[in-house]
Amino acid sequence: MSKIKDLINDDKPREQAKTKGIENLTNSSLLALIINSGIKGYSCIDLANEVLKKCTSVDNLINLTYNDLISIKGMKDAKVYRILSLIELVKRINSNINKKIDIIHYDAKVFAKEFIIYSNSNEKMFVLLYKNKYRVDILKFSSYSNDFIRFSLNSIKKRILEKKANEVLLIHNHESEYIEPSNDDIFTTFFIESRLREDKVVLIDHLIVSQNGYFSFKEHKIF
């Protein structure tokens, strides 16, 4: 493992930020700045890479817990809580907790517009949680498939319980311009809706967004 003092200036995250601009840093370099220091035999960049391995994708960083982070060799409380503080700030920004939706006058177009920016990216799934009409959390998954959703549903239900949410809005993108739901999309929606109903949680809608617009399951009365 490399030591931070042994790295050339171009490989040091702080020097990179100064010379190249922080927006040009890699994910591991940005995370290394948060971690701040390494341990014997492990630089902060090495630790950052281990954190990214733990979450498999930077999109899933927000879902890491204290136990996930503390299990990484070299990650002590101070480093763990730096990352958890960052995660909490990101959650608060993403949650837009003061944004209220009126289910009676729910407008799919408004939400589709908010997430249309993802229409050109790899297929993603967003799970928006609401408690008494207020958004309390957003879960973002970097994959979307029947198997993935079934595998992830327990973690979604766990977060619903933690946030005491009683309503859920699903949004995912299609990489192509085609916005009609596939058979898998329909099956997944019914599967999630039935599992949520077991816990008396309402599925508000499932939106599909693409470059061509959006498709609302609610508007088409599919469930």
Examine the domain organization and report whether 45 and 128 are in the same domain. Answer: no
94/79 Cα distance (integer angstroms): 23
- State yes or no: pLDDT of 103 exceeds 70: no
193 domain residue, yes or no: yes
Residue that terminates a domain, selected from 95, 116, 134? 95
- Please report the pLDDT score of residue 197 as a whole number: 94
Examine the domain organization and report whether 87 and 135 are in the same domain. Answer: no
pLDDT-derived band at 2, boundaries 50, 70, 90: very low
Amino acid at site 106: Y
Residue that terminates a domain, selected from 74, 95, 116? 95
Residue pLDDT, tens place only, 21-43: 888 888 889 999 999 888 888 88
Examine the domain organization and report whether 125 and 201 are in the same domain. Answer: yes
Residue-range definition of the domain harbouring residue 12: 4-95
- Of residues 24 and 92, more confidently modeled: 24
Per mean pLDDT, which range of 59-68, 70-79, 119-128, 163-172 is the poorest? 119-128
Q: Which residue has the tokens 């999109």?
A: 59
Q: What pTM, to 2 d.p., does this model score? A: 0.55
Backbone phi, then psi, for 142, in 5-degree steps?
-85, 10
Count of C-beta atoms within a 10 Å radius of residue 90: 13
Domain count, the chain: 2
Tell me the average pLDDT across 70-91: 90
111/208 Cα distance (integer angstroms): 10
Residue that terminates a domain, selected from 33, 63, 95? 95
Examine the domain organization and report whether 167 and 129 are in the same domain. Answer: yes
- Please report the pLDDT score of residue 143 as a whole number: 64
100 domain residue, yes or no: no
102 domain residue, yes or no: no
191/210 Cα distance (integer angstroms): 23
Q: Which one, of 146, 209, 199, lies nearest residue 172 by Cα? A: 209
131 domain residue, yes or no: yes
147 domain residue, yes or no: yes
101 domain residue, yes or no: no
Q: Which one, of 207, 145, 213, 206, lies nearest residue 177 by Cα? A: 213
